Structure 1
Amino acid sequence: MTHTIFIDGEAGTTGLQIRERLAGRSDLQVVSIDPARRKDADARAELLNGVDAVVLCLPDDASREAVGLITSSTVKVVDASTAYRTAPDWAYGFAEMSATQRETIGKATRVSNPGCYPTGFIALVRPLVAAGLIPADFPLTVNAISGYSGGGKGLIGEFESQPAATGTDDAFRAYGLTLAHKHLPEMQIHSGLAHPPVFAPSVGRFAQGMLVEVPLQLWAMPGAPSPRDLYDALARAYAGERFVELASLTETAELQSVRAGAAGYVPAFDPQSLNGSNRMRLFVFGNAAGTQARLVAILDNLGKGASGAAVQNLNLMLGLPEEAGL
């Protein structure tokens, strides 16, 4: 059986990546609106209701408008915007988030694709909150850097403009300085936290890739868990997972012993190291005294942080092999 898919917003960064991931699949047929009727509301509504599944790659308001046009009870929707990520009647599309989330997504007709930063943060924090190692009301901070593609066409154009005088020559740029980033609600709710973390996002002069870090003062936490306690909890949470993996203690120790600039140095700890994949790697670093830890997630902001997750969710919703196209 071939399922029909409409990507509403296929010309955007995420839409293009999803279309590329679906190309060549015999079990899916991507359909597009007639360019001459692109602004015809009736034509768009007809297409939204006439396919098996819709992937929305639109701004929040446009996604809400598109969902409002869908009257069919059988059309399955994956929304890549922020619009429904905390909506109780939408499934949150992070399949590895819990033991039951994959089944929840598979049964849903409405799935909200996670944000890229929240994917890394939730992957690191939720299992530790669930295990009682991080109290739900514990104050957390998350520091992160993403490639500029996460900012869409505007930021891509700014960083890639030649000559640089017409764009930017920034090597690094911090933002979210109002402490009100739109990803905070999903970070808090889906991690099981009582309060939002302090979120310090930034963008670097590289197109794709992401590093998300949560530093912890273990001595200040009830029970004073050790870095090994955190590692073991994450290992249990992601045992057997295909797309989320925990770096071994051996690899972590090797990374801790490497000095930048040393002979033979291999930059394995690179936010770009998983580009083009739907994978995410987690790391637990601790100090010698066991009183501090740094939890780190590396992922492709356009892969597991966007298009890869959308395809994974689409596969689950349509009853197809979860890894198809990934």
Structure 2
Amino acid sequence: MRTPIVFIDGDQGTTGLQIHARLQGRTDLQLLTLPEAERKHPQRRSDAINSADIALLCLPDDAAREAVSAIRNPALRVIDASSAHRTTPGWVYGLPELDERQAERIALAKRVSNPGCYPTGAIALLRPLVQAGLLPADYPLSIHAMSGYSGGGRAAVERHEQPGAQRAPTLQMYGLELAHKHVPEIQLHAGLAARPVFLPGYAAYRQGIVLSIPLQLRLLPGQIRAEHLQACLEQHYQGARHVTVAPLHQQGPASPLDPEALNDSNDLRLSVYANPEHGQVLLTAVFDNLGKGASGAAVQNLELMLAALQAQG
């Protein structure tokens, strides 16, 4: 079998640079990128994407749609890291841990949409609980997440790391109009019937996310306790390579969550914190917004596709 050609379109952005670095030196694939002078040339980009076996799109949404519209090669497989196709019918959602067959679907798909950083944590926490009937699909959910400033892309990185960075905000909440573009993605792939409230923010550290979702046990069906939620998550992610579920915490002081704890990895750590006295639970996720939240997830999906190509000979 010949060495597969992998084209990164947009390899100078935050996600593209990380993917390029993760793939550098690989001998089981041929990495294709365009010289700087050709990156915005429509014909050069079209020729490159159509010459590849797998294309990784690390582009703004409109540019990603334009790249897909230029595809002529029927055998080409695409992993889109933008948010352009995350709720588009016919595209496979690129979260291998979504269910027991999702990794296989990704491996064989022609079109895969990489999850957003925040939705990765939210969906990983919510979908198993909704599917198991422990969390009503119409529960009035509130999701809060704090990311490192790299989540704001190249412009945000420059504000914090270029001269004059001392003027960059230490903390900023955004999405206050309650219309963040990640909300439809979370609602669809978590299996929610009601739109959640989502409030994200950036802080003055480079990368890493802490995401939290509070629950009131009195609003859950039956006599559900934190132990049931914990057991559901543990069962769902049993054997998952990149997702771990921390032990249930419901007694004594809890250690603070460090958003940078899993930086430079493709790992995701889920936790359940409970206060039985007050009937309250907090679901949390910690992961790297540039890892499992972006480039690490894209490379994980690429690995599944490459394995499928190799199996097909």
Deviations 1:34-63 (A, max 9, x none): 444333322211111001110000000000
Q: Tell me what 1:217 maps to.
A: 216
Q: Distance in 2 between matches of 1:242 and 1:124?
A: 16
Give distance in 1, aligned partners of 2:44 and 2:199.
42
5+ residue gaps in structure 1?
260-266, 322-326
Distance 2:237 2:224 in 1: 19
The residue type paired with residue 86 of structure 1 is T
C-alpha offsets along residues 17-38 of structure 1, whole Å, 9 cap, x if unaligned? 0001101111112112244433
Correspondence for 1:303 among 270, 274, 291: 291
Is 1:204 the counterpart of 2:203 in the alignment?
Answer: yes
Q: Distance in 2 between matches of 1:41 and 1:257?
A: 57
Find the aligned partners of 2:127 and 2:39 in 1 and give their Cα distance. 41
Distance (Å, rounded) in 1 between the aligned partners of 2:229 and 2:243: 16
Aligned to 1:282: 270
Query: Across the two proteins, how many residue pairs are aligned to each other?
Result: 308
User: Is this contact kept in 2: 1:109–1:317, CA < 8 A?
Assistant: no
Question: Contact (CA 8 Å) 1:243, 1:280: kept in 2 or not?
Answer: yes
In the alignment, the residues of structure 2 paired with residue 320 and residue 107 of structure 1 have an alpha-carbon distance, to the nearest angstrom, of 7
Give aligned-pair identity as a percent.
Answer: 51
Moved more, 7-16 or 311-320: 311-320
Task: Tell me how far apart the structure 1 counterparts of residues 182 and 139 of structure 2 sit (CA, whole Å).
Answer: 19
Distance in 1, matches of 2:165 and 2:33, equals: 36
1:126–1:190 contact (8 Å) kept in structure 2: yes
Which letter does structure 1 place at the counterpart of 2:160?
A: F
Unaligned segments of structure 2, at least 5 residues: none
Superposed, which structure 2 residues align to 1:97-136 within 5 Å?
97-136=98-137
1:117 partner SS? helix
Q: Could you tell me how far apart the structure 1 residues matched to 2:203 and 2:223 are?
A: 34
1:143, 1:199 within 8 Å by CA — same for their partners in 2? yes
The reply on whether 1:312 has 2:300 as its aligned counterpart is: yes
Aligned to 2:235: 236
The residue type paired with residue 304 of structure 1 is K
Residues 250, 275 of structure 2: 8 Å contact kept: no
Change (3 A) 1:201 1:224: farther
With structure 2 as the length reference, what TM-score do the two structures score?
A: 0.94
Q: Whole-Å Cα distance in 2 between the matches of residues 192 and 209 of structure 1?
A: 26
2: CA distance, partners of 1:195 / 1:42: 44
- Shift in Å, 1:3: 1.3
Corresponding letter in the other structure for 2:123? I
Alignment of 1:1-326 (within 5 A): 1-164=2-165, 167-168=167-168, 170-249=169-248, 252=249, 256-258=252-254, 269-289=257-277, 291-319=279-307
Equivalent residue of 1:203, what SS?
strand
Deviations 1:72-106 (A, max 9, x none): 11111000111000111000000001111111111
State how far apart, in whole Å, the 1-side matches of 2:152 and 2:230 are. 32
Q: CA RMSD in A?
A: 1.7
1:224/1:290 Cα in 2 relative to 1: closer, same or farther (>3 Å)?
farther
Distance 1:272 1:37 in 2: 36
Could you tell me the TM-score, scaled by structure 1's length?
0.91
